[in-house]
Structure 1
Amino acid sequence: MANIGEQSGTTYLLAVGTKKGLWLGTSADRANYVFTGPHFLMNEIPSIGIDTRNRKTRILVGVRSEHWGPTVSHSDDLGETWTEPENGAITFPQDTGAALERVWQIQPDSEGSPGVVWAGCEPISVWKSTDGGEHFELNRGLWDHPHRPEWGAGFGGAAAHTVLPSPTDPNTIHIAMSTGGVYRSTDAGATWEARNKGISAGFMPDAEPEFGQCVHKIARDPNNPETLYAQNHHGVYRSDDNADTWNSIADGLPTDFGFTMLTHPRRSGTAWVVPIMADSERIPPGGQLAVHRTDDAGASWTRLSDGLLEPDFNVVLRDAAAVDTEEPAGVYFGTRGGTVYASADEGISFTAVLTQLPDVLCVRAAVVEL
């Protein structure tokens, strides 16, 4: 595979984390990619963050070794070299009696908070870095929350898998976890409140509890920070009041189960999901993989499958999908069968850019200057 550094100018970066390593690709047209990898061969890569603030590009990856355990590594030269703090980027304080199991989410904050990077981890916890993701501090407000003893583990583990800092209010942060649901802080993480009203938990004795929902992924509207979208373990929802209440937008989808939720980088009302049959099947409906897009905030959905393999019985996991910030927006996702697709036209058509990888766990995309 060619050296990424051979390219220059405006470039599209695609990062793919798998059960056995990381692949990094660049492209001039979002269809033909030059990839390097695998980086971190035989290590699980469940999370990736691409930080392009200040016209610099830092790639952060959650790395999990069966022998050495989990950590966060970063590269400032598109993967040519990697740096890991000597004592680990994320280490639980001794008084917690806990040990890090997996880094599920790496999320750079907004342009107004340079250097701030968030991480969501297993056991369920949220961490904040102020030095670009080199060292993280445990958020004690969430760790000491009275609900924590009752948070459970989803099928993949006990995951704080989504961290959404508000782009306009540095005090507001939303997180989602499996299982536990959506929580919101309005005081920069000092305290947290469950915000799940309207999200069903039909698998529990109380179908609408305060918390305990298995929310698979949430995403924020690009223009109205108080509008959020959620893919639940059965249920697709939208909130227009900062997650105080949620309303179903699943009508028009072939199934309300799935793992992914993406929103457009600029246009309100546009979101993408990948429906999966559940609970006894866990495959795309009829073995026909497809992305579904709404352009009216969930009032209707359009099925998109041009360029996707048929049939395909593989699932797309919660972080194995991404959008970029180009116009039109690029849409990307990878399957547990090891195929990675790219679309340069918001999902109207897809091209397979990688095949026969290990299980794809995480996909991230960005527009960068080389």
Structure 2
Amino acid sequence: MQDRALLGTRKGLFELQRCKGNTKGSGNHSWQIAASSFVGDPVTMMLSDPRDGSLYVALNLGHFGVKLHRRDAGASDWTEIAVPAYPPQPPGDPAKPDVAWKLSLIWALAAGGFDEAGVLWAGTLPGGLFRSNDRGDSWQLVEALWNVPGRSEWFGGGYDTPGIHSICVDPRDSRHVLVGISCGGAWVTRDGGASWAPSAAGMRASYMPPEREDDQNIQDPHRIVQCGVAPDVLWCQHHNGIWRSTDGGANWLRQGQNNTVSDFGFAVAVHPHDPECAWFVPAQADQKRIPIDAALSVSRTRDGGQSFESLRSGLPQTHCYDLIYRHGLAVDDDGQHLMMGSTSGGLWSSDDGGDSWHTVSTTLPPIYAVQFG
């Protein structure tokens, strides 16, 4: 169980500390804000590196560009480090002539394997994946993915350009990495990024013409997560439903079609020790993007997607318009503690797997990302 949680918000990074002496069900006194950094600046993503304890924070400063900072374990000061940079754009990019080769957002950060000291991955808008071998002091565009012929068909899902928001590094093999792209499907490498193949077979995009609904290259996986003890099991909250893979992303099966709660949403979290258990936050599709009936709930499956429970205890059930972004739901490494942050600055925690929720705050800035660690 982690004693720290991180919030990336529209107005800075907030570090929460679990209050000492907590007992199960201690409510909104379970967490308190212990520190804040970059107050007033949008924090789009953060990463607590489990290998050396470093903390990375990505900022989007608009006119002043994207920034990236690192704080070493035990240190109090932040160091500004390099940001991913695209190479010069050739005249008339044949793949996506309408997309500028310019970094506009860091949407995902992931640590490499424990056998790859210093390796980091970054997913960006406009759809580029970057790798660092030196803890972010320099970055290289993964050209093999950037140059796949299929990139010409990627398009924006919410943003004007495609973006990589999910990076799953196989804990058994650091060279095996799967990424999720809106809207570009899922792609996988088994050689550390030297070559890539589409990995979204089975997903279906009902927003496309019928003859193209099954096309792997235009799917919109809103978020993909991987089970820590069973890395072949991945869960996906897609624009058009919930999907699960039990073969490392080679094939996906839709889940919850008989679920009475909407299967549209953005966030998903998987139990780190139980691949059958996952959580989702349903919303009203498509343009509305608010909780169903203005009542916030979390959907949980504990049988691999055969059935889902609607968890509402402690969550606002009237006049609630909080949306949970892709990275706004997190589960601790014990599989029991969860935290969820919303676009309206609401923050809730659970210490019983989501059966009941406690309000931590309703006055935070809009929350982009939540992590334990």
TM-score, normalised to structure 1's length?
Answer: 0.90
- 8 Å Cα contact 1:105-1:121 kept in structure 2: yes
1:284-319 per-residue CA deviation (whole Å, 9 max, x = no partner) reads 111110111111111111111222123211110001
Residue 356 of structure 1 pairs with residue 360 of structure 2: no
State the SS of the aligned residue for 2:46. strand
- 8 Å Cα contact 1:22-1:39 kept in structure 2: yes
Please list, as runs of the form range in 1=range in 2, the aligned pairs for 1:100-115 lying within 5 A after superposition: 100-115=103-118
Shift, 1:268, TM fit: 2.2
What letter matches 1:90 in structure 2? Answer: P
Residue 118 of structure 1 pairs with residue 126 of structure 2: no
**Which deviates more from structure 2 when the two are superposed, residues 105-114 or residues 141-150?**
105-114
Find the partner of 1:295 among 290, 302, 312: 302
- 8 Å Cα contact 2:66-2:83 kept in structure 1: no
Match of 1:5 in 2: none
Find the partner of 1:271 among 271, 278, 281: 278
Match of 1:52 in 2: 50
Distance in 2 separating the partners of 1:129 and 1:344: 36
Match of 2:33 in 1: 35
State the SS of the aligned residue for 2:250. coil
What letter matches 1:197 in structure 2? Answer: A
Match of 2:311 in 1: 304
Q: 1:89 to 1:281 in 2, by over 3 A?
A: closer
Distance in 2 separating the partners of 1:189 and 1:52: 22
- 8 Å Cα contact 2:108-2:124 kept in structure 1: yes
Shift, 1:69, TM fit: 0.5
**Which deviates more from structure 2 when the two are superposed, residues 152-161 or residues 331-340?**
152-161
- 8 Å Cα contact 1:109-1:118 kept in structure 2: yes
- 8 Å Cα contact 2:222-2:267 kept in structure 1: yes
Find the partner of 2:321 among 313, 316, 334: 313
What letter matches 2:140 in structure 1? Answer: E
Distance in 2 separating the partners of 1:80 and 1:305: 39
Shift, 1:263, TM fit: 0.6
Shift, 1:79, TM fit: 8.0
Distance in 2 separating the partners of 1:348 and 1:59: 31
Match of 2:235 in 1: 229
What letter matches 2:208 in structure 1? Answer: M
What letter matches 1:33 in structure 2? Answer: W
State the SS of the aligned residue for 1:147. helix
- 8 Å Cα contact 2:165-2:182 kept in structure 1: yes
Find the partner of 2:333 among 325, 339, 349: 325
Gaps of 5+ in 2: 91-99
Match of 2:96 in 1: none
Find the partner of 1:181 among 185, 190, 199: 185
1:67-95 per-residue CA deviation (whole Å, 9 max, x = no partner) reads 3210221112578321112xx33222235
Match of 1:6 in 2: none
Match of 2:171 in 1: 167
Q: 1:203 to 1:78 in 2, by over 3 A?
A: farther
State the SS of the aligned residue for 1:190. coil
Distance in 1 separating the partners of 2:227 and 2:14: 29
Match of 1:258 in 2: 265
**How much is the aligned-residue C-alpha RMSD, in angstroms?**
1.9
Residue 90 of structure 1 pairs with residue 97 of structure 2: no
Shift, 1:37, TM fit: 5.1
Distance in 2 separating the partners of 1:357 and 1:222: 30
- 8 Å Cα contact 2:291-2:322 kept in structure 1: yes
Residue 242 of structure 1 pairs with residue 260 of structure 2: no
Gaps of 5+ in 1: 1-9
Shift, 1:109, TM fit: 2.4
Residue 214 of structure 1 pairs with residue 245 of structure 2: no
Distance in 2 separating the partners of 1:271 and 1:114: 30
TM-score, normalised to structure 2's length?
Answer: 0.89
State the SS of the aligned residue for 1:94. coil
Q: 1:101 to 1:347 in 2, by over 3 A?
A: same
State the SS of the aligned residue for 2:145. helix
- 8 Å Cα contact 2:14-2:33 kept in structure 1: yes
Distance in 2 separating the partners of 1:212 and 1:193: 14
Match of 2:5 in 1: 14
- 8 Å Cα contact 1:221-1:263 kept in structure 2: yes
